Amino acid sequence: MSKLKTMTLEWTGDAVIFIDQRKLPLEEVYVKCTNHFDTFTAIKDMIVRGAPAIGASAAFGYVLGAKEFRGELGSEKGIDHMKKVKEKLASSRPTAVNLFWALERMHKTFLENASSDNTIDILEKEALAIAFEDIEVNMAIGRNGSELLRDGDTVLTHCNAGALATVDYGTALGVIRAAVEAGKRISVFADETRPYLQGARLTAWELMKDGIDVTLISDNMAGWVMSQGKIDAVVVGADRIAANGDVANKIGTYSVAVLAQRHGIPFYVAAPLSTIDLSTPTGKEIPIEERSHKEITHVQGIQVAPHNVKCYNPAFDVTPWNLVTGIITEKGVVRPPYNVTLKNLFD
Ligand SMILES: CSC[C@H]1O[C@H](OP(=O)(O)O)[C@H](O)[C@@H]1O
């Protein structure tokens, strides 16, 4: 029986089932995870990806980890087992802070209820709360961001910060969806987002399914498209926002932000409070994931570069706070000085 089912994932009570985002848009294939090891692999291999989506996925993986334990979860062995489950899931990817935020929330819930008669039910309720809250938060981000867009605007996006990057609705694409739902005619230019092609494979697919006007461009076209006056605003997602407002997001975001400033185009970041990490002072302290060179040398399994060519494949970059016009959150749009305005969100 399904307790939660969205485009991104399904929770049945005994398994979390993901659409395999590596296969989109040409194949809609599903991967069923019945334990926390499989869930770890689904996050690490980007079967499921996107900061809020991996946070919720890890929360369900944590519940599966608890269900694996044979014995008293409140025993020393049980508590040690859950510590290992949390550490395993936390080791899947290093940059998106939502992963660690969700696991800390689940582990705190576990420690507070380890000796309860229904610990697993309590953990499942918390994981479902994280998931349903994400949907509500994304819709609030959408409403707040929609007010920044005018009827007839064209928005540039980078990567995929849509329903597939969250439990549902999306953050950056949530802003676009909300503006369209408010009756505004919005067009989108979507960067393909090499090397993993989240823009070409996922954003274009999502927006076409919703009937939202989308034009796909290669990443190196963004500057020229801006110089032709085709872009009114940029809206992207985030994987971690440091206390000073520096933003870690998909590789290529920094270049888009510099180009937006050069052309006097507002550059907005749409993100939930769970992506803001006040314990990380600046972008310099954000760990940047490096991924397989094969993501660069191959496109959908077809080799496009010489054997053994040297590669460098950082999956994220950091956009300095002074290139960010505003950060769209579920509590409203915050503007610089972010070292003050971000803290105020948590008061
Ligand atoms: C809604 S935030 C999504 C965020 O996550 C993506 O990274 P990845 O596809 O590697 O998980 C990208 O940075 C998006 O902006």
Average pLDDT over residues 100-118: 97
Closest CA to 123 of 73, 84, 50: 73
Residue 55 near ligand 1, beta carbon < 6 Å: no
Q: What percent of the chain has pLDDT over 70?
A: 100
Residue 52 near ligand 1, beta carbon < 6 Å: yes
CATH of domain 4-138: 1.20.120.420
Residues 177-202 have pLDDT tens digits of 999 999 999 999 999 999 999 999 99
Return the pLDDT at 2: 87
Closest CA to 266 of 234, 231, 229: 234
User: Does the fold of domain 141-345 match that of domain 4-138?
Assistant: no
Residues 208-261 have pLDDT tens digits of 999 999 999 999 999 999 999 999 999 999 999 999 999 999 999 999 999 999
239 among known catalytic residues: yes
Ligand 1: residue of 236, 250, 295 to mutate (most ligand atoms within 8 A of CB) is 250
Mean predicted lDDT score pLDDT of the chain: 98
The ligand 1 atom at the shortest distance from the C-alpha of residue 46 is 11
- pLDDT exceeds 90 at position 1: no
Domain boundaries, the chain: 4-138, 141-345
Residue 50 near ligand 1, beta carbon < 6 Å: yes
Return the pLDDT at 77: 98
Q: Specify binding-site residues for substrate.
A: 49-51, 93, 198, 249-250
Residue 318's pLDDT band (cuts 50, 70, 90): very high
Residues 244-303 have pLDDT tens digits of 999 999 999 999 999 999 999 999 999 999 999 999 999 999 999 999 999 999 999 999
Return the pLDDT at 252: 98
Return the pLDDT at 45: 97
Look at the domain 141-345 and name its fold. Rossmann fold (3.40.50)
Residues 66-83 have pLDDT tens digits of 999 999 999 999 999 999
Residues 55-70 have pLDDT tens digits of 999 999 999 999 999 9
As to burial, measured by CB atoms within 10 angstroms (0-12 exposed, 13-18 middle, 19+ buried), residue 276 is buried
Which member of 134, 168, 191, 239 is catalytic? 239
Average pLDDT over residues 94-102: 97
Residue 142 near ligand 1, beta carbon < 6 Å: no
